[in-house]
Amino acid sequence: MFRVDRRFLTSFDWGLLLLLLLVSGMALFNLYSASYPPKPWGMPPYVRQAYFFLGGGLGILCLISFDYKELHSWNYPIFVLMALSLVAVLFFGDSAGGSQRWINLGFFRLQPSEPAKLVLVVALASYYGRKEAPDGYTLQELLPPVGLTLVPCALIMLQPDLGTALMFVIIFVSMTVFARPRIFTYLTLGAMGSGAGVLAWFFLLKDYQKRRIETLLNPGHDPNGAGYQIEQSKIAIGSGGKLGKGYLEGTQGHLHFLPERHTDFAFAVWAEEWGFFGTVFFIGVYFLMLFWGLHVAMTARDRFGVFLAFGVVMLIFWQAVINLLMILGLLPVVGIPLPLVSYGGSSLLTTLLALGILMNVRMRRFQGERTLD
């Protein structure tokens, strides 16, 4: 007979839920402004995003209903399913903007590379949770996590989607550094990464990807071409001043100077309308939510829970940092969304499920540590 353990209710992370609701509310208000005035046809982006929030909320309820330790036995089958979905995209996926990234499910288009990030976090947490290395991980011991990272990374590069592929590398590096490799392992991986970067520049990166990096170094050399997005974004942010222009009063966004204003550059709309103080408030609440997640990781009762919660925080943290630096012109435009803020069903659902995992770890912190297989 199904029975709810009352300790789960008393241990539920109400603080994380409050921060999530606050960020989500601000994000929806911002998305309404970013897509204002609405087009006379189709469903407005903020309405679709609200539906995705509801779907993600149901996903969180499903996730917290079972012990997160069950992911130990399910993580590899889920990983295989994820890899198969990335292969399916290459053959049956929908194309847009020169990339083939989506699978049309009828009611919405799924971008498998988004949930694949979370699947990688689970897979790496499972590996590091099972295999301890008190003296630090050797290069040989890191071969399995390297392989787990390269599989989705290579498939996503074929779409092609350089920005998302790099996120997999960043997740691997973050969780591996947290696991503490040996010094020699650091040096070897660093040399391999540097060599891979050089080879990628000469043999892998396409011309438009190189132009984005060159634009970072000199955005003013082509203000109407490759540097247009960054220049308009910086104008929008700077024109907000201290207090902003007011809600629905942003000219860069509403006069269509700012491209991708409801997706990659959604936060530039917020900065223009709410100014410096509004931006500080939003970023403060956002990163408080992530620091709360680190607290969840540090108070988890088992090694798997620690790595799982830490990986979730890194997944959201690095996407947020890259997006914010991107709209400030400090990084090239690589198409990384701001989690919970940028429009996109796949990204939003993935982020909400990731936060659901954090809540799951927090709720079960009272349970004793269990020996890992």
Do 138 and 243 have their domain in common? no
> Residue 371: inside a domain, yes or no?
no
Query: Does 373 score more than 50 pLDDT?
Result: no
Q: Are residues 201 and 306 in the same domain?
A: no
pLDDT tens digits for 142-185?
999 999 999 999 999 888 888 888 899 999 999 999 998 888 88
How confident is the model at residue 182, as a pLDDT? 84
**Pair 182, 229: CB distance under 8 Å:** no
Domain assignment present for 254: yes
Query: What is the per-residue pLDDT across 196-220, written as a single tens digit (0 to 9) for each?
Result: 777 766 666 666 666 666 655 565 5
What is the pLDDT, as a whole number, of residue 169?
93
In a domain, 1, yes or no: no
- 61-76: per-residue pLDDT in tens? 999 888 898 998 888 8
Domain for residue 251, yes or no?
A: yes
Q: At what angle do helices 71-92 and 113-130 cross, to 10 degrees?
A: 150
Both 173 and 258 in a single domain? no
Residue 167: domain span = 71-205
| Contact indicator for 171, 314 with CB cutoff of 8 Å | yes
Of 153, 183, 205, the position where a domain reaches its end is: 205
Domain-embedded: residue 370: no
The pLDDT assigned to 357 comes to: 95
Residue 6 lies inside a defined structural domain of this protein: no
Residue 117, CA distances (Å) to 91, 108, 132, 152 in order:
21, 19, 23, 9
Q: In the predicted model, what is the mean pLDDT of the chain?
A: 85
Q: Are residues 178 and 242 in the same domain?
A: no
- Identify the domain boundary among 158, 190, 205: 205
Last residue of a domain, one of 143, 174, 205: 205
pLDDT of residue 287 exceeding 50, the answer is yes
Residues 212 and 327 reside in one and the same domain: yes
Task: Give CA–CA dist 154/167, Å, rounded.
Answer: 12
pLDDT tens per residue, range 116-146: 999 999 999 999 998 888 888 888 899 999 9
pLDDT score at 344: 87
Residue 260 reports pLDDT greater than 80: no
Domain count, the chain: 2
Q: Please check whether residue 49 lies inside any domain of the structure.
A: yes
